Structure 1
């Protein structure tokens, strides 16, 4: 399957992907040079690029700003020699129509895959009307020129939470790539993965998954890296983790070791469990720090201006959170630099 902009197909790979923070200057304008630098840095670290998700403050951007960010990211990848690197872009909007429009614009700008969250404004109605909820995703997938990953994040969708039966139903859509589960429910992901990895499912969908992904697998991805090892044991295919903005090499190493370990390499599994201890700690620090804290960590550890500020209404960091980032992540940053 090819993007609408005419670029050759760039299939999505199993493994670690990172939802990038969108860097804003002091006047809240997008810093495109910093965005390009972060895209290139993460691609060189061997992780997938997810643009304009929750960490990317997509809801704070105008449609024109969103499209400009996609153009910047695609150009940064191509200029750095990553011409075959896929680019997943968050295209969720307040309605099915707006989401479809944003998805088409992202594809035109260079996105190869979309990640779509359910609109949360009418959660008081959609939370009860499950038919309307599923219809939203089906309409978007019907109209999208690129494969769609379902983004299940109750915290960012006013509590709307897809269950495994609903995800399994949506997985049968011919343009459904997978699901990101930021609901922290590994059992839900296991049920979805067991269904989509069955011989019967692959007989129905194997050909189109071979076109959309490197492994031909429906993507089941936790939204955290703190549980990556148990998630992989439960048939998940990787993770999409905001902590990867700071520690991409560490988390990529954790994934590689865990895959080897689960294939029978006892030494690799032992090392993966120790590394999972580190990531479980640092992941929670990043969660507590929030999006402004993630941006501050980028500025503090990686490069000044790479994170920038967050747009209102996200608040400013307290001295206590800054100290937590500077103190509690220092050892993990030293480890990241050693890789």
Structure 2
């Protein structure tokens, strides 16, 4: 038995791609192209460029445009400008994070997203990650925003599974798991797919989890999800940002990555060794 879920608006397996830099810390555009091609060839349907994992807080507007995307900011006017630039550069959609630091109330959060969606012709994916922004997009706010014709999806890092299910039940919003440990669980209740950090290192494995579920082989999907758990923990749950761990592992795999930009610091040798060991164990499964 195969799945009959709606076609996802941005594809099923998306990678929150790192932004490669040269040894001197400059944008490595050729490296970004090579990494993007590798990820797509290995099973990614789409790429989220210059997001949190792509070090968007430390890339310039010019670099964002050269990368095609990267529109999240705490300033509504600036976000609109970046969304228009992304559209001009050829992006297929925009991922828009909740304004951070200023902690706007829900009415202001909704107004921010609507203003961005009104300004650009691109479809919008909302990014709900209160652990970083300090502000949740509450379920009722999401339900209201779903009425906007260009607000079509949510990247969910809310860690509120009940709230997520409420929105899934009451709207047509396409949900994407933004936390790798939730890829299968969220997909099983009707999500469209995932935006995965771990896919930087094992794109084919992440894609295979969802493919197995769609094929009706839920046992295989479960085994694949559990098999990647040690690597997921090492990359996203061990106290370091996913950007740091993903770049450390990609550098060991001789894939384009390079250093992180300050204020981030590179992973130490022991951490990089541990990441590589878990990667090699997974590849042997």
For 2:100, what is the secondary structure of its paired residue?
coil
TM-score by length of 1: 0.77
* TM-score of the pair, normalised by structure 2: 0.91
Give the secondary-structure state (helix, strand or coil) at the position aligned to 2:54: coil
Instruction: Report matched runs for 1:128-143 at 5 Å.
Output: 129-143=105-119
Which residue, out of 23, 26, 35, partners 2:20? 23
Distance change >3 Å, CA 195–CA 90, structure 1 → 2:
farther
Match of 2:152?
177
- Report the 3-state secondary structure (helix = DSSP H, G, I; strand = E; otherwise coil) of the residue aligned with 2:180: coil
Residues 95 and 125 in structure 2, CA contact (< 8 A), matched pair in contact too: yes
Larger deviation, residues 59-68 vs 287-296: 287-296
What is the aligned partner in structure 1 of residue 218 from structure 2?
269
- Please identify which structure carries the higher helix content: 1
* SS class of match (1:329): helix
**1:185-200 map, 5 Å:** 185-197=160-172
CA distance in 2: counterparts of 1:234 and 1:109, whole angstroms: 35
Match of 1:238 in 2: 193
Tell me, which stretches of 5 or more residues in structure 2 are unaligned?
Answer: 1-7
**Count, aligned residues:** 274
3-state DSSP of counterpart to 2:158? coil
Aligned to 2:127: 151
CA–CA separation in structure 1 for the residues paired with 2:10 and 2:74? 29
Partner of 1:260: 215
**Residue 31 of structure 2 aligns with which residue?**
34
Q: Which residue of 1 aligns with 2:258?
A: 308
Superposed, which structure 2 residues align to 1:1-339 within 5 Å?
A: 12-47=9-44, 48-70=46-68, 89-123=69-103, 126=104, 129-157=105-133, 159-197=134-172, 218-261=173-216, 268-287=217-236, 288=238, 289-290=240-241, 291-301=243-253, 303-304=254-255, 306-335=256-285
Q: CA deviation at 1:14?
A: 4.1
Q: Is the 8 A contact 1:189 1:236 kept in 2?
A: no
Q: Which runs of 5+ in 1 are unaligned?
A: 1-10, 71-88, 198-217, 262-267
How large is the RMSD of aligned CA atoms in angstroms? 1.6
